Amino acid sequence: MSEDRPYLRLIVNADDLGISKDVNTAIFDMMSRKLVTSATILANGPEVEEAVSGSLNFPECSFGVHLNIMEHRPIIDNPDLAPLLNTDGEFAEKALEISLDRTVQQAVVGEWIAQIGALRAYGVKISHIDSHFHTHNLPSLFYALKQVQQHTGIAKVRITKNIYSASNPPATRFLLIRKKLWNLALRKLVSTQTTDGFTELSTFMEKAVGGIPSKYRTIELMTHPGCPENNDETAILGGEWLKQLPFDVRLINYNEL
């Protein structure tokens, strides 16, 4: 890449660090190969301590928090989280299915702040926020997210997906408008730094064939190394995808954004 030519800056983020030993191993392998530049950690994941320990080997990468109200046990014991839990007291993937009233929203604020605090107690310098199943993008939790940012001082957040390919188009044009407004509000209400674009690695590769619009100077690519449901994506990530791009790119992490 020539330094005097325009180039696209890419953050390659691996989600779910700490969810399992296999995922941890796969993510750190991709980092050692310079193919992943960032990862987000599940503070309540079963293998979070291994994830934190392994992250110390990669000071050139950024590590954010993967806020989680979808599975595993909460960090705090708060009865107001009950609508999101199963009979064993674990998150049960209900956040996308039920209406979250004010009481639950405030309980989520407390849980998310506790998750960030837990990672900081481990010594993680949190670079940015995203979430498991993109729950921080739920309209009902927008102000909860902003409260968390204000309380923790974290100024960088993943936007909602805004890059689509022909094989995976948005459901409606109205959805694109809503997403544009959400991303604008995210940046403006409690000043927040974000990438210009966000999508999956596979979608990006399909879109890249026709060129990426110049309005995108920075793009985050989401990946899931070690997750069996994403083996095709991981195969792309571990291959020659960078050499296949018809334009210049520079890989960065969230600390460089």
Contacts of 203 (CB under 8 A, 6+ apart): 163, 164, 165, 168
**Mean pLDDT (10-residue bins), the chain, 257 residues:** 67 98 98 98 98 98 98 98 98 96 98 98 98 97 98 98 91 92 96 98 94 94 97 96 95 98
CA 20, CA 68: separation in Å to the nearest integer? 15
Provide the CA 113 distance to its chain's centre, in angstroms. 17
At 4 the pLDDT is 47
Terminal CA-CA length for the chain: 19
Whether 27 and 225 have beta carbons less than 8 Å apart is answered as yes
At 127 the pLDDT is 98
The token duo for 17 is: 């660090």
At 7 the pLDDT is 84
CA 237, CA 231: separation in Å to the nearest integer? 10
Superfamily of 8-256 according to CATH = Glycoside hydrolase/deacetylase (3.20.20.370)
